[in-house]
Chains A and B, each alone.
Chain A
Amino acid sequence: MTSNALLALGLTIAFGALVSGTPLLFATIGEILSERAGVMNLGIEGMMLVGAMGGFAVWSHTGSLLVGMGAGMLFGGLLALVHGYITITLRADQVVSGLAVTFLGTGLSSILGAPYVGERVPEPFTLVVPIIQRIAAQQLILVVLGLLFAPLVWYFVNRTRPGLDLRSVGEYPSAADSLGINVFRTRYLYVVLGGALSGLGGAAMSLVTDPGWVDGKTSGLGWIAVGLVIFAAWDPMRGLVVSYFFGLLRRLPLDLQNPALPLISTANNPTLGRFMDMLPYLATILILVLGSREAIRKRMGAPAALGTPYVRGERGV
């Protein structure tokens, strides 16, 4: 393979990683926000799926990508709202409710999405770019959005008043409550926002990064996001980095199918291909193991009130 071709391949893979990682980025940051407020939502997979399906459906009726993405956010947010009601107001167990979100989202998207399987997909608007040659403009825009989004969220969480309130609610809700911050309202807000972002991630998948709808489109990406939140130590910027890394892991099996690649082509070596398929999931476990020790050393624990329903003391609801 010529060095030029290698470079082109390298850049293609790099860009592909960014594209593939961006839906994950939105979902991960969404869940980071929710968990910083103290509410764990395991149903990311379900929210991404309804976002993917809903976004695709709305696009196919309106022809507008923007409206489609917006719809994806709406559906994700609605599903998260149910979870929020059950866990915040009814104070039920967050794990089980999150699982229920997954089931519901998976089922709903499957049922309501059936007529859209195999439908025509949004046309990529091609740009010609040096070295890599052709990329889709929508994908480029999406990647840029993601790159801008993460630092914005970081700034919001760490350098603004609402961000301070958010962090306080997740760490020590009693203190926040005693100073007049509405813990319930804050938690609802960020749970729904997190769901909307997951829905956005899903819509991004079905409309931009891998256009089209099939049942189970996200194939487990939502579950990876749950793990990524922990490894990102609930920090949006770290979330950015790990999302792209996982985007890369997901792309590699595809890119490595090129038989012209020396040694590592998976076309010639299907075992390697299968192993690469496993990589994202094994990597999540591995980074959790590594993370568990690092966290102890660097005090990077979870928001202290994560997972615990907030019950106000003597003064009542």
Chain B
Amino acid sequence: MNRARVPYRLRIETRADNPGWMGIVSSVLGVVLALVVGAFLLRAAGAQDAIATYREIFKEGFGTFADWRAGVAALLSGGDCPKGLLCFGPLSDTLVKASPILLTGLACILAFRMKLWNIGADGQMFLGAWAATAVAVFILPKTTDRWVMLAAMAGAGLLAGMAYGAIPGFLKARLNINEIITTLMLNYVGYKWVEFFIVVGPWSIGDFESTGRFPKAATWPRLTEFADRFPALSGLTAHPGILLGIAAAIVLAWVLYRSRWGYEIRVIGDNPKAARYAGISLQRNILLVMMFSGALAGLAGMNEVAALRELNGRFSRGFGFTGVIVAWLARLNPLAAILVSFLFGGLLVGTKMIMPQGIASMLQGVILFVVVGTELLFRYRIRVEKVGPRRVAAAEGSHDE
């Protein structure tokens, strides 16, 4: 800042007007800018043509119009897709990818609404997967009806996630311990916990780091199971888990906007002092919100494990963090999260086949940076004004006491 000679001065002041659409614009802008920056970084990483890479990613993640047309035609006529898996394959994979990140995204949305930084959705997800596995393989008999089994697994996932989320919740509510650190640490504890059971401990089968295949009842039905009636669906692994996520999104939206508890959450998140004035209990809500946020992440774990049909050492880490980005991009709106998670799922699927690995993470980082940065640019306005003793300096009103 040049105090001496420069006759101009920058002022940053709050915008008076702030229409809702600016939120969407900033999110979209964030993604676009991220793609641009990503293109540069890709170039640096050796990828020759960034645009081609992006097109490739889109194709891998969603497919092409031609393929979709062919697929719909095949579906309607009862025939098979001429290109085999390519018609709906990418879309199906994307749906599969989207379901856990939708759920972790919702977990983050709930917590962030109250300014609780739950970064432990990953660990909570692992605990949920663990509990669902316990039910599927070791508690309920193999012959249990499919929907009963799945319901029990879902319940187990919910409860395990809830319990695991209660730990940081309690620590914050009672001892005011920073939940960022506790949830982060518990992520690692969660990973190791599952690792213990399937690598070294009672669940591992032989030398493999795995529980072995689940009984069929403990797995999601997949589209490919209907291939005899609709050959176009053969090979598609999409499952109802996404519906679970959508249902959860609808429920969360209802809770946030139409329930008393949701109102309390939003008030606390916006102004804790006003909340206290209105008699809303902060401690109780911190614990509750962390518990339910954990529950949603635990459900994501169940979702994944029922989709993967076994729990093994390759159970993905990182969905919890992707959830953070989904929540942010969706502007903490559960219904928007549905769309965002779908798009992100496409991104993740699309970059899986692309080398170099890590593009997804890098793009996620860039997107987050850009969205966070631009969000404030929309909140504030920068004005350049002349400075001099004879001009009215447009300072904020100050009060003489």
Contacts and interface: CB of A to CB of B under 8 A. Distances in A.
Nearest to B395: A314
A284 interface: yes
Dominant secondary structure of chain A at its interface with chain B: helix
Interface size, B (range): 35 or more
Contacts of B196: 271, 274-275
5 contacts: A96-B368, A270-B201, A285-B186, A289-B171, A316-B11
Contacts of A114: 355-358
Interface of A: 42, 46, 82, 85-86, 90-93, 95-97, 99-112, 114, 182, 184, 215, 220, 223-224, 226-227, 230, 270-271, 273-275, 277-278, 280-282, 284-285, 288-289, 292-293, 313-317
Interface in B173-219: 175-178, 180-182, 184-186, 188-189, 192-193, 195-196, 199-201
B186 A273 contact: no
A226 B199 CA distance: 29
Interface string B351-376: 00001111111111110110011011
Contact of B9 (A90, A109, A289, A317): A317
B10 interface: yes
Contacts of B185: 223-224, 227, 281-282, 284-285
A230 B177 CA distance: 10
B1 interface: yes
Contacts, number: 171
Q: Which 3 A-B pairs have the closest CB atoms?
A: A110-B358, A107-B362, A104-B365
B37 to A, nearest CB: 10
B361 A107 contact: yes
Contacts of B10: 316-317
Contacts of A220: 188
B365 A101 contact: yes
Nearest to A95: B117
A229 B41 CA distance: 32
Contact of A317 (B12, B45, B324): B12
B360 A107 contact: yes
A215 B373 CA distance: 28
Interface in B364-401: 364-366, 368-369, 372-373, 375-377, 380, 393, 395-396, 398
B287 interface: no
A52 to B, nearest CB: 14
Contact of A103 (B201, B321, B357, B377): B321
A97 B358 contact: no
A315 to B, nearest CB: 7
